[in-house]
A and B are shown apart, each in its own frame.
Chain A
């Protein structure tokens, strides 16, 4: 195992049971939520996982957090296999990997004060010998998350804060454990445009000040441009293209990435351009198309795409895409 690879995911799969098509059918059906994902994360690296809803990115996040058990595959962290752990081992790993959820309105318990929310992880893990020590950590986490001055917020309840402030509380509650990896699942999609930049800037700062690696999950390629080191594009349970941010944004190889990039609105009417609009919607992950799973919507699909699953083709050291057109 490569020492540089801090978090490593190999052949990860998660199938959920689906309803049988009919009462007397014997055929078991599965939702192929995550269907063979490989990637690695280095120390204090920011990787963006991009895809539409139904591409499996949220399930992937739950698998990485150990909140769902994978059907197949291996997740290793710091050289240790953490795919299946018992409760005690899992708890120890959770200290190192923390998560920020999409909806800051829903991810805070309305009956707890901000202090209780941020203090809770310390209580759970039995960190800090006395109240003063815990208070210090709580206040440091809050100020690092931009809740300054912390005293103003301590005794408040979530409903008294704005969306942006709540998302900062969620981040503070993750930081208070001093994690090494932060999983951010659509952390800004519910926030106003003027607030989004602040949260993204905050996450970007953390990786510099605290050396935290960030897995940034989003449906919006547009928001990853500034701070992701690498970008992985997902479609229907798989990664179809992965590379450094500039490689993916400037030289996209997979037709799906190209289409996704083309529909991102550009905030300048003088730069209106032709968009590649894919028809239809992401297929149901119960009946995954044969061959290349993107072929039914692919604007440049060939006859062979229906038959064979495309392998990854490399472009340079860091850039890979899975498309038959790229196979020479």
Chain B
């Protein structure tokens, strides 16, 4: 029964976090210096009237929030604005209708731009996460099993090394290497490949994905190796492993049946916590390889001062991470009988 309550509480907190992000996101773009209208539409050749028109078009003429301006104690109570006619309310209302505003740069709805990009990022992160987890687990298991041998030392040292690599720099190095080996350098697909049969299209995407995914995998596998190693070391020194050994089970059986699941449980938590950090990797990788994902959208939006896109992309990434985090958290509860049968 307590489990249901814990479950509801977790979902509730995820929703609260999303609301927090929405509010944060809105105010970051209003409170921080640099009027978005001035920053985004800063062409000095524009006439004052034209700027005013653009402001109206992007909804920047409305008050930010009801009484936001009258927080000044002298003017307190002098609020006359209709609360439904503020930028904040319109922003929230639009959000619930799936609208994220209009790009300053392309004049297209931000939601449309991001929708195309989202799945590319999910594809990249998904593939990279799965590969780095698999490799990390395998390396970690070997390192722990063969603790204090050369294998262990090599695994730990190489993990520390790859952990220390700046993601974008590794991406650049691999790009350099790839350019000398005939791999595609940018984008998700060769131009014009959409006319090819589906299978060849996929192969083309796969070739484009190779280097970004490789970068991603290398950068994150070190951390998973180290966590898996330390987690498995803990498990393997538990008494129940000695029991399993006394039962006459072989080393392989002990690792498979008694150690792996127990050691993987902490890893699930780490993966959940890590999701927020792995997005950082995606931004850098997408920038270097021009992979058309959310990260590249952020990079481009920063360069073009396209704040609606930046705002939308940040919100989307944050919500996606919160969601993935919730799923990982719930998975953990499902996997660990100590929580499950509480």
Residues of A at the B interface (CB closer than 8 Å) are: 19-23
Contact residues in B for A20 (Cβ distance below 8 Å):
1
Q: Which residues of B contact A (CB under 8 A)?
A: 1-2, 4-5
For A19, the closest partner residue in chain B by CB is B2
List the B side residues contacting A23 at CB < 8 Å: 1-2, 4-5
CB-CB nearest 7 A-B residue pairs: A22-B1, A23-B5, A23-B1, A23-B4, A19-B2, A21-B1, A23-B2
Residues of A within 8 A of B2 (CB): 19, 23
Complex alpha-carbon distance, A19 and B342, angstroms:
11
CB distance from B341 to the nearest CB of A (A): 14
Q: Which residues of B contact A19 (CB under 8 A)?
A: 2
* Shortest CB distance A23–B (Å): 5
Name the A residues within 8 Å of B5 (CB-CB): 23
Distance from A17 Cβ to chain B, minimum over Cβ atoms (Å) = 13
Q: How far is the CA of A228 from the CA of B304 in the complex (A)?
A: 85
Q: Which residues of B contact A22 (CB under 8 A)?
A: 1
Q: A19-B2, A23-B2, A23-B4 are in contact. List 5 more A-B contacts (CB 8 A).
A: A20-B1, A21-B1, A22-B1, A23-B1, A23-B5
Question: Residue on A with the closest CB to B2?
Answer: A19
A23 to B5, CA, bound (A): 6
Give the distance in Å from the alpha carbon of A239 to the alpha carbon of B4 in the complex: 39
Compute how far the CA of A20 lies from the CA of B4 in the bound complex, rounded to whole angstroms: 12
A52 to B1, CA, bound (A): 30
Inter-chain CA distance A6–B4, complex, in Å, is 51
Residue on A nearest B3 in the bound complex, by CB:
A23
- Using CB atoms, name the residue of chain B closest to A21: B1
Cα of A22 to Cα of B5 in the assembled complex, Å: 9
A selection of 8 A-B contacts at a CB cut-off of 8 Å is A19-B2, A20-B1, A21-B1, A22-B1, A23-B1, A23-B2, A23-B4, A23-B5
Chain A residues with CB below 8 A from B1, complex form: 20-23
Closest Cβ of chain A to B9, distance in Å, is: 11
CB distance from A286 to the nearest CB of B (A): 14
Expressed in whole angstroms, the Cα–Cα distance for A19 and B4 within the complex equals 13
Q: Complex formed: what's the CA distance from A22 to B3 in Å?
A: 10
B4 contact set on A, CB distance < 8 A: 23
Determine how close the nearest CB of chain B comes to the CB of A130; give it in whole angstroms. Answer: 49
Shortest Cβ distance from B4 into A: residue: A23
User: How far in angstroms is the closest Cβ of chain A from B5?
Assistant: 5
A22 — nearest CB in chain B belongs to which residue?
Answer: B1
Shortest Cβ gap from B222 to chain A (Å):
32
Whole-angstrom distance between the Cβ of B313 and the nearest chain A Cβ:
39
